[in-house]
Structure 1
Amino acid sequence: MDFAYSERVEELRSRLLNFFDDHIRPNDRLYHQQLAEAPDRWQPVPIVEELKPKARAAGLWNLFLPHSERGAGLSNLEYAPLAEIMGGVPWSSEVFNCSAPDTGNMETIDRYGTDAQKREWLDPLLEGEIRSCFAMTEPDVASSDATNIQTRIVRDGDHYVINGRKWWSSGAGDPRCAIFIVMGKTAPDSPDKYRQQSMVLVPRNTPGLTIKRMLPVFGFDDAPHGHAELLFEDVRVPAENILLGEGRGFEIAQGRLGPGRIHHCMRAIGLAERALELMCKRSLERRPFGKPLAEQGVIIERIAQSRILIDQARLLTLHAAWRMDTVGNKVARAEIAEIKVAAPQMACQVIDWAIQAHGGGGVTEDFPLAHFFKIARTLRIVDGPDEVHRFQLGRMELAKHKPPRAEASARAAE
């Protein structure tokens, strides 16, 4: 396992860091100002649109999509340090056309879509002309177990008819969102509970598709990205809009969520690095009880522990990315589960310590830490809650130590 960055990645990383120094960090305050003053916070933020052509001109566009000719062709391991940099300024990923849920949706259509589906939806997504939504989670069932999903997708001649409710549907609030990837059941009575689900492509303007509301998160409206509650009432789409075929939805979900999970973890590490930077600067500036905060023992301890936690999570993430690249997402599911638990928890802890170092300012919007904490805490739920990943990890670990069936049967007979 050699985690040294390749020459190409080092060059891209240097170029990306320079872009951040020149265009992203200097415009961070302007971004939040434009968003706060916008009459409609769901509309595209001007500075982001202004920076996109510059990112493309710098060769910093569509950096994900491992092993695909349509993106930069970077492996998960190669993309990791780039996603970490973007994670330090949460709005920056869109500048490089590398933001969720579009990255996962583009990868889904690239891997599982037909040529016609790719021409109609993937190409404009890759060009940044449209945006997309992923609709899987539902309010009426425990969606941490995807087999619970109740939305029905029924074949009717040359069409599928969709009925159901979704929420936490990422990206639906963006007016440029033109396509929804929707998961539901086409065969609810199948004895194989993992073959009951399918995924279909639903254009935004399809009759019967209603955005009921955008969900606030910890009191934030979460614009301009956000998550929606959706209602599907006799939504009719052509049969050719199905992805991969009936009964393949769970398979697609597993293929989509693996890279998505690790992308979240990469960005969470960048978020924690930024929080640590802010904590260090704050502790050097503030002088409680006659000496800098940085000289208080508890702060030094927390800064040191933050560095340990961040570096641990980074190495674990790189290992998971390496496993995904070498043995595939399915075989690497244990490593993906490990980092999906470890990285958001690490980020929550580091950000919490940074908030504490900022005192009352830490929970205001004068600093980005409250927003950072909202992102990190939400990550402990999205793409599977911590408890589900721990449960799967525990089962896999126990399986290593269970005796073979024959041996177990012989022992039982004795």
Structure 2
Amino acid sequence: MSSLILEKLQWLAGYGWDEQGGITRLVYSDAWQQAQQALKTWLEEEGFSVEVDAAGNVIAWIPGAESPDEWIMTGSHLDTVVSGGIYDGQYGIVAGALAIAKLVKEYGAPKKTIAVVAFAEEEASRFPFAMWGSKSMFGKATIDDIKGIKDTAGLLMEQVIKELGYSGTQEPRKQVEAFVELHIEQGNVLETEEIDVGIVHSIVGQRRLRITVTGEANHAGTTPMAYRKDAMKTASLMVNRLLSIADEWGDPLVATVGQFELEPNISNVVPGSAHFTLDVRHIDEQSLEEAANKMIAEIELIAKDQSIEVAIETWFSSQPVQMNERIIQQLIQSCKKQKIPYKSMHSGAAHDSQVVATTVPTAMLFVPSKSGISHSPLEFTEEKSLIQGMEVLEDTLFRLAYEGDKN
């Protein structure tokens, strides 16, 4: 018989289940609305007070008996990528709700208000604006910041929001004094090292660039090598150098060229242009900036050497964020109390905690991902790990909301 956490994950996954065996629950879609309503109903049945805010975030809470205006919050995001797995995002929501419900059943009302949130959007899978839910909730974005943003069908994000009855603008949640996010790792570190829990000390900053290399398309047979302006050759030299820089720099810097396109992309034509992306990440802002600047300089140097034009656009940038040391220590104590092996680690992926941490003391807890696979129907975490993560979260929430440890 499966555990309650797994049963609830499978239940919620039913809203957005697709033919590939994954979940497609893009923000504000029909599947997303159905999941939001089902989640709201379940939380109300569990005794939570529930609110849906101006962005569609679902906030459910149990009022504090002594300090109702001081909130301890957990949760994650409700949306998914196209054909995602059943753990990414919704595990943190379901586990948070179950942990709170269990605490209330065993110990009664907490001293401080304890809450779980289902952020409306984190993935940027429908609209190119990541972590809209947490940004809206904590005063980092309003409806004005998403003007002109469209999905692939040409629908404006701001219009979709308003048609669903949301304003998209609200006052920041200032009563939250601590936030703890439980999430699958989405990498293979914990599994490889055979460690049960990861306690996140920082989340990487990112620089994402688009590079366009412009040469001259020409006949593959009649154009001598010395006379060519081959965009493919130049772009290849760039990619090789960029990844070499990352290798030389070493951990925790990572660099990825994830997209590469040629024009005209014909077998017997020298490519006239090449387009590729560069994703650079590091936990230290100065190192990230230095690495990104070095890579840009190398791109420009290679273009000059090859007598080729290049255009570089930085289309996304985020700063590294440190998690709150006091809450980290609470997580560590919870692991030690339950004799659960843990590892202090950074997150190479962005999460809502990265937004929340800029205004609220925040910490993150990881459980292993099978083979590091995520954003896929093959995403998998052992039931034992799901339960362990929830138990560490539960004990930490008890320390914060019932014992009233200050952060």
Alignment TM-score, normalising by the size of structure 1: 0.27
Alignment TM-score, normalising by the size of structure 2: 0.27
Higher relative contact order (CA closer than 8 Å, sequence separation 6+)? 2
